[in-house]
């Protein structure tokens, strides 16, 4: 495993994106977000996703010039068409508008249709939290998971994000997809010849299993919380579609343009200081974290973490030591960046 300095990774990815046809500003923003994701430990949507993004650009599945265009403006809610532009810049724009609307109205909401994969959903939770805003956002995706009770796929793993801003910058950010594990995680575990710590899907015979290869074979990945995550995936999909006037999962499937083609996303931001004080916010957060941290740890657990805490630790360590990178992935990105 290599350790790549942040700036080196960012600049290399940026060159690859410019070479693939992204305008310079767009490339710089996307490169920063991919690098930040890897730096936070979310490798699947960081460096490891660069090649696939470039491939989508080459195939014409992402419009390098696409920019969110306003369709409808309501009191505290705006609806945009993403013109199939890069998911990252569309989503940053959308959350930025949501926080602007929240500054003005207490809460703000932006929905986005015909956009593309936003990569790590947590990015937009952190973005809002950095502005002192609470946030909720979600996206739909193509089909990648069986609904509860089925053995064949029919629903997306539709990520859902919630963020709470802490004055000290140690924001509390939940970033969860609706499958218990991602296919990326299964692959990592299989290649390392390891079992999953908890059941992650079914065998072809319908038995719950911790064996990643068996799940990759059956394609019967487990919804998080069994019927609950399956139900939530269905609701997130329909809400994203109906709140933006765009594609639901079945319609995304029919496009056959990879992951999250012309998908829908919803961004909400809330300004807590318009209804309460910064002291109130601080106390609620501190008290909650203290209550969680002072619970009795389970067997073999040394510390109980809150959502987002591990990302912060990774960020600190990887800024100092360099961002972990698989040598073959890194070399491939360097190739893509050669002018």
Q: Closest approach of Cβ 74 to a copy of itself, in Å?
A: 3
Residue 230 CB, nearest approach to a copy of itself (Å): 8
**Nearer of residues 57 and 98 to a copy of itself, judged by Cβ:** 98
Asked whether the CA dihedral 322, 326, 331, 334 is positive or negative, the reply is negative
What Cα–Cα distance (Å) separates residue 208 from each residue in 150, 180, 182, 218, 311? 13, 12, 16, 11, 30
φ, ψ of residue 265 in degrees (nearest 5)? -140, 150
**Dihedral through CA 222, CA 225, CA 230, CA 232, nearest 10?**
-140
Q: Which is nearer to a copy of itself, 235 or 334 (CB)?
A: 235
335 Cβ contact partners less than 8 Å away, ≥ 6 residues apart: none
Q: Residues with Cβ < 8 Å from 200, sequence gap 6 or more? A: 180, 181, 185, 186, 209, 210, 212, 215, 221, 222
Q: Concatenated DSSP letters for 15-49?
A: HHHHHTT--HHHHHHHHHHHHHHHHTT-GGGTGGG
CB of 151 to a copy of itself, least distance (A): 5
CB nearer a copy of itself, residue 53 or residue 306: 306
Smallest distance from a copy of itself to CB 273, Å:
10
Residue 159 CB, shortest distance to a copy of itself, in Å, is 11
CB 86 within 8 A of CB 26: yes
Residues constituting the chain: 339
Give 305 or 321: the residue with its C-beta nearer to a copy of itself: 305
Residues identified as active-site: 45
Token pair 């660069």 is found at 50
- Select 172 or 325, whichever has its Cβ closest to a copy of itself: 172
Contacts of 228 (CB under 8 A, 6+ apart): none
């Amino acid at each position: 495993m290599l350790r790549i300095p942040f700036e080196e990774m960012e600049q290399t990815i940026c060159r690859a994106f410019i070479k693939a046809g992204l305008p310079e500003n767009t490339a710089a923003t996307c490169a920063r977000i991919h690098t930040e994701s890897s730096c936070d430990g979310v490798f699947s949507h960081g460096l490891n996703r660069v090649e696939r993004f470039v491939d989508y650009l080459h195939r014409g599945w992402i419009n390098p010039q696409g920019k969110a265009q306003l369709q409808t403006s309501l009191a505290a809610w705006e609806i945009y068409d993403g013109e199939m532009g890069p998911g990252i810049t569309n989503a940053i724009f959308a959350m930025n508008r949501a926080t602007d609307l929240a500054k003005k109205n207490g809460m703000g909401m932006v929905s986005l249709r015909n956009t593309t994969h936003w990569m790590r959903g947590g990015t937009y939770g952190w973005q809002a939290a950095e502005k002192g805003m609470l946030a909720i956002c979600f996206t739909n995706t193509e089909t990648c998971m069986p609904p509860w009770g089925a053995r064949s796929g029919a629903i997306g793993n539709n990520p859902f994000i919630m963020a709470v801003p802490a004055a000290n910058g140690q924001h509390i950010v939940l970033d969860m997809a609706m499958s218990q594990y991602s296919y990326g995680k299964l692959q990592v575990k299989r290649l390392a010849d390891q079992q999953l710590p908890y059941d992650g899907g079914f065998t072809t015979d319908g038995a719950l299993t911790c064996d990643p290869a068996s799940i990759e074979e059956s394609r019967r990945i487990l919804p998080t919380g069994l019927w609950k995550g399956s139900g939530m995936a269905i609701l997130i999909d329909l809400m994203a579609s109906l709140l933006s006037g765009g594609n639901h999962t079945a319609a995304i499937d029919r496009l056959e343009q990879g992951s999250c083609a012309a998908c829908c996303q919803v961004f909400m931001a809330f300004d807590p200081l318009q209804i309460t004080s910064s002291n109130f916010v601080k106390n609620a957060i501190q008290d909650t974290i203290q209550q969680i941290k002072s619970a009795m740890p389970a067997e073999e657990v040394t510390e109980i973490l809150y959502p987002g805490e591990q990302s912060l630790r990774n960020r600190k360590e990887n800024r100092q030591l360099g961002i972990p990178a698989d040598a073959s992935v890194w070399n491939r990105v360097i190739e893509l960046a050669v002018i």
